[in-house]
Every structure is written in structure tokens, then in C-alpha cells.
Amino acid sequence: MAAADPAALKEPEGDAPTVRMETSAGTIDIIIRPDWSARGARRFLELVVSGDLDGLCFYRVIRGCLAQFGLPTKRNWPAIPDDFPTAVPFLLGAVAFAAEGENSRRSTLFICTGDMSECFGWHPWETPLGAVAEASLGVLAGIETAYGDVAECGGAGPDTPRLRGEGPAYLDASFPLLTRIHSARLLDFSGGGGGGEGRGRRARTRQTNSCASAGFC
């Protein structure tokens, strides 16, 4: 099925639409919360309907911290303005954009695979746009962590500039174990549910010093 034009995206039904990501680790349903991050939620839905997330990998996965995805994209996405902070905590399953500073969110996202509330949420661009549904939280433990952090942060994972320049072929050749996103699509969702699922569950593991800086590399 051909990807839709993100410019033609209509507001989905309900207050908390669901995005289903079919991955090599299992199905991950994400409850989108525009009331937490209106601009972030819309950009995520634009990435989904455009097909730009299909075929990508979780290229930066730090056990108990985060699983990052969103590179490389098929088009050049402009940065979006920050959303107003809402004090929503970065608990297990929270989904947010990774950013380099104010008004710099583009296409790179991460899912919290542990309780990161002490590490994120201190800057205006750190605002969750949704959270993994309760039924999908178990899938997060199956996302491959063999390579850890990206190379520029001292990990054995991909070099982000090379990933941007060489694309999926670089990951396929050098990091074959990475968990892949086969597809991402917006499900029909009516009503305002999802609040209980959206909060997720707190992880029981303590965060390490490497986690504290993971989102700022």
C-alpha cells in the first residue's frame, strides 16, 4: 500500500489514537496523547502515515533505559517547535522525540524501556507524546540490546553520521541483530480511553550513570 501524504493528515478519531508497530520483537501498540504534546503527537502521526518508519531499526538500545529509532528517513523533516511542558513523567513505555536542544525535534524518537523520570523531563523539548499500551510492554524487553549505545557516545552501536549518510545498508551490513520495525500504521480508535495504559508501569531497576546522559549525546 502506498504511503499517504503527511500534509493531508486528518485529525484521527478520539482523544488517544493508537499506532501499531509490527516489529521483529513483536507488536507494539502506542497510545498517542495530543493533550501531552500536540506538536509532537502530530509529527509522529505524520511519520507513520508517510511510511517513513517502515523498515527502520531500533538502532540505539540501552538496556533498562531507552530504545531509539527514526533514522534514516525518506525525506528531510523540518524541526518542529517545542510543546509546553505538562509534567508527564518518563516512565516505562513513554514515547518521546530525541532532540539536540530547543525546537529541534524532527524524526528521531525513543521509547523508555525503564523508568527514566529522573533523567528526562527537565528541558522544554522533553515531553512524552504517548506511551506503549499495557499489553505491549512485555515486547520492549525483546528489543535487541547487543550493541548498546551509538558509537559517538562510546557504545558499540552504529555511527549516527554514517547512518544518516549510508542508510539502511549500513545497518544491514554491520548490525544485523538490530530489531526491525516492519511497519507502523494508525489504527481506528474511537473514544477517549488509553489514559490508564498510557502511564505505563514503573521499572524496578535503578538507572545507571550512562542512562542519565543517554538522551543528550
pLDDT digits (tens, 9 = 90+) for 157-204: 999 999 999 999 999 999 999 999 999 999 964 433 434 333 333 333
- Which residues lie below 8 Å from residue 210, measured CB to CB, with a gap of 6+? 62, 65, 149
C-alpha cell at 132: 506503549
C-alpha cell at 61: 538500545
What's the CA gap between 173 and 183, in Å, rounded?
A: 21
Report the candidate in 143, 169, 161 with the shortest Cα–Cα distance to residue 68: 143
Tens-place pLDDT, residues 48-74 = 999 999 999 999 999 999 999 999 988
Q: What's at 117, amino acid-wise? A: S
pTM (2 d.p.): 0.83
